[in-house]
Structure 1
């Protein structure tokens, strides 16, 4: 039976279990060939090689090649100090890092450490030769130099210059006064007035420097009254400059007597006392100013007094008692504002000190002189405007770059580049700075969307202009101005503001630099005057239709 069953039952052949394949590269270039292929002959395994498990999870440590992360070209792996100390061996231009000593046989792929992209990108001898054969770069971008702007800004300073233009007549008057009173040992007083920036202090300082060299026996005392805490503090300041010790602790009456004795003592050299910003000594009853102006006329006085202030009528308006005593009345000298021709000549004279000046345009100089003379006639302001405009252009030029050859490059193929001509300061730059400095002082009219000047202020300025023409006076009282303003408003069928509101409008116009106010004890007696030339005010106000009709009528 068993033999019969074995003969009749079919035999089932189960497939054999596949053996694990070892990823061994064959000599013929075939990879991962199956073991049951009779056409492929596998070489015997060397004792150094080992069979890895089929699953990567069962591999340990470095055998788990599937868990090695792929390196990105831009981030090379960090290496420890031990890895950096391993010996390197060059094979065909590549650096290989190996943890074992090199042998005669070629190591297998499993034992090789995968080279990082950083090592693959190391220069080969061929690439280093091509780098050495490159031609040196002879051109490079440089920042533009601004030395020419620095030179021009240096000559446009506001300090006392060596030569003062357009003030020859005033300087001759001061020299004649000093020679007459100091050299002739004759006491006297001089009052110098003028708007800020008209050269009063500069001319006087230049003359006193030269005069001290000519008359070394005289003594000069200069005091700026702006630095004093009060008007009566002028006496201790003068006493300290004259050599009196402890003058600040002495009573004012005793100190005044000591000063009078010292100024009138025999053998005392002629003393020139200069009080700058003299209007700051304004006090109740004006006792300080009266006492100072009486010093030159004391018996045996050796004092020559020179006062400097902005107000034109300081001695007539504040020191009215000096009119009764003509002997004590000082000699007057007025410095008028600079005209546009004088400001232009001052700027051009300064620019001649710079060789080959190509910075300021001639049209820009004329424009600056015309605008500044129309507003204030301040030469210092014109110098500041030009210097500020040069700084704007200089910052723009320094932010740019130009292509220039290197200093040590002498290649014949390098073109000879000439330094470009710097940017010139033109009308747009001067106009921009003037608008920043003066604001709306020149923008009285317009009537457009950008006209923010109130109508009541325009009518007040227009009334002042007509009243000054009618009375032929530069200054009018606030009471008369309010009456003229009220008549103009009635003619135009408009509501006029009250007297107190009119004072507020005048104060706002003074803050904008259009009007000048000289306050008095009573508000109605406050003197009002234009701080801008009448032609410029009329030209600006004509742009408005309503104010233009008021000016065209010409009547109050």
Structure 2
């Protein structure tokens, strides 16, 4: 009985449909085109439209929750070295400086002349970043190491002087980049570079040499720096003209260390990058945040960060680091509230309280981190400055410094020469550890007034355990 039930149930529709289709396809008299076109017209609209809707919905349901992706995107925007918008030739807030650079390059390229430019400004003011943007924007379309502007071409050699082992090796570094060579039979000097250019071996009308962190090339007699800038004068009779661009923090670098250039009429043009105002910092931060799909920062949180950064150093990088840390903090707080059993919570914004906490840790005691970064000579000069009056000039301070060193250092530490002393003072100013102001009509370095810019107790804490420094301080 069980066998009879199975055979009766198997016989219905499926076999009957399959043979019918086969017979229809094999029969030439059946009107195949009509039968296929009718179902196609009926099937296409009914099947395609419902399928299209789920196709759009499926990926969105599989995506990472919006808050997680927003936090990740925001952190990438505030990371140092993040991708920039290359559709314009200037950074946000640095349009005027970009115009100066463009004008300087255009003038020398079109007139086929040599020249030199010194770019100065405190750390974090966009000196290197803006120059890099200009070189990238006007880069030759087919040659990466070349600049194309106003129909003229220049070969670009870009060097960070901090990586050069000694100042005298800078010409070897330049030659190596020019001829794509690492090792030479003998050390390459300024004369070798001059001979290379004189023989017309460079395949461009101009050679543009960019020297970042140029103060790393300082020597006792400053001969290396003088030879570098003197290249622009030497090349005036060469087939290839030379453009020198130096970058450092000190505003009066060339006047202080290279007075010979002024005497010989070779003083480079100057372009100063001033510290960012809070409005400029806000403009940069807002420009970055506009790339997010939602608003992530409370407007007052942005303003708090920008005003704090501007009031202390005007360092844009510091403000961006604080924004990155704020996003990271909020992301951690958001992740702590996630649960696999409930829907993800709504986006958590960077509030004023979040930003206040981050700013307190980043800007609350800036002096301590600055003092930790100082070397021994800089700390010695700073300790001596604590014994001076508030309105003392740099020249008067140097006299006091020599007296204190001879009286308390007991021959353990040598006394800096005047040029070395001025270099240390300039570095302290760049790190905002001291303030320099002009006295009267004279703007000479020695006549400027110097004033310490860190609390005495923090300086004492930073030299604790260093016998000679404690003796100089107390």
TM-score range, shorter chain: 0.5 to 0.7
The residue number in structure 2 matching 1:430 is: 355
1:282 paired with 2:205, answer: no
1:206 paired with 2:133, answer: yes
Q: Does the CA-based 8 Å contact 1:343-1:382 persist in structure 2?
A: yes
1:515 paired with 2:417, answer: no
Output the aligned Cα RMSD: 4.0
- Per-residue deviation at 1:434? 2.8
Q: 1:335 aligns with which of 267, 273, 280?
A: 273
Gaps (5+ residues) in structure 1? 1-141, 406-416, 444-456, 469-475, 484-495, 519-523, 538-556
Q: 1:237 aligns with which of 161, 170, 173?
A: 173
Counterparts of 1:274 and 1:175 in 2: how far apart (Å)?
15
Map 1:118-197 → 2, pairs under 5 A: 146-159=68-81, 161-162=84-85, 164-197=91-124
Counterparts of 1:512 and 1:295 in 2: how far apart (Å)?
28
Counterparts of 2:243 and 2:221 in 1: how far apart (Å)?
24
Q: In 2 relative to 1, CA 164–394 (structure 1 residues): closer, same or farther, beyond 3 Å? A: same
The residue number in structure 2 matching 1:549 is: none
The residue number in structure 2 matching 1:120 is: none
SS in 2 for 1:372: helix
Q: In 2 relative to 1, CA 146–402 (structure 1 residues): closer, same or farther, beyond 3 Å? A: same
Q: 1:479 aligns with which of 368, 386, 396?
A: 396
1:396 paired with 2:323, answer: no
Counterparts of 1:429 and 1:365 in 2: how far apart (Å)?
11
Counterparts of 2:387 and 2:301 in 1: how far apart (Å)?
31
Q: Does the CA-based 8 Å contact 1:144-1:402 persist in structure 2?
A: no
Q: In 2 relative to 1, CA 529–152 (structure 1 residues): closer, same or farther, beyond 3 Å? A: farther
Q: Does the CA-based 8 Å contact 1:282-1:289 persist in structure 2?
A: yes
Q: Does the CA-based 8 Å contact 2:213-2:248 persist in structure 1?
A: yes
Q: Does the CA-based 8 Å contact 1:517-1:527 persist in structure 2?
A: no
Counterparts of 2:354 and 2:279 in 1: how far apart (Å)?
21
The residue number in structure 1 matching 2:158 is: 222
The residue number in structure 2 matching 1:261 is: 195
The residue number in structure 2 matching 1:344 is: 282
Counterparts of 1:229 and 1:526 in 2: how far apart (Å)?
34
Q: Does the CA-based 8 Å contact 2:435-2:452 persist in structure 1?
A: no
Map 1:385-464 → 2, pairs under 5 A: 385-402=322-339, 420-441=345-366
Q: Does the CA-based 8 Å contact 2:391-2:451 persist in structure 1?
A: no
1:224-269 deviations in whole A, cap 9, x for unaligned? 10111111111111111111756544145xx332211122334742
Q: In 2 relative to 1, CA 462–436 (structure 1 residues): closer, same or farther, beyond 3 Å? A: farther
1:56-76 deviations in whole A, cap 9, x for unaligned? xxxxxxxxxxxxxxxxxxxxx
Counterparts of 2:429 and 2:113 in 1: how far apart (Å)?
44
Q: In 2 relative to 1, CA 224–526 (structure 1 residues): closer, same or farther, beyond 3 Å? A: farther
The residue number in structure 2 matching 1:88 is: none
Q: In 2 relative to 1, CA 367–482 (structure 1 residues): closer, same or farther, beyond 3 Å? A: farther
Q: Does the CA-based 8 Å contact 1:144-1:398 persist in structure 2?
A: no
The residue number in structure 2 matching 1:451 is: none
- Per-residue deviation at 1:292? 0.5
Q: Which has the higher Rg, Structure 1 or Structure 2?
A: 1
- Per-residue deviation at 1:183? 2.8
User: Greater relative contact order: 1 or 2 (C-alpha under 8 angstroms, separation 6 or more)?
Assistant: 2
Q: Does the CA-based 8 Å contact 1:385-1:433 persist in structure 2?
A: yes
Deviation >6 Å, runs of 4+ = 457-464, 496-501, 524-528
Counterparts of 2:242 and 2:391 in 1: how far apart (Å)?
44
Q: In 2 relative to 1, CA 430–499 (structure 1 residues): closer, same or farther, beyond 3 Å? A: farther
Larger proportion of helix: 2
TM-score, normalised relative to structure 1: 0.53
- Per-residue deviation at 1:482? 9.2
Counterparts of 2:405 and 2:210 in 1: how far apart (Å)?
45
How many residue pairs get aligned? The number is 337
Gaps (5+ residues) in structure 2? 1-63, 141-147, 369-381, 410-414, 416-423, 437-444, 456-474
The residue number in structure 2 matching 1:294 is: 230
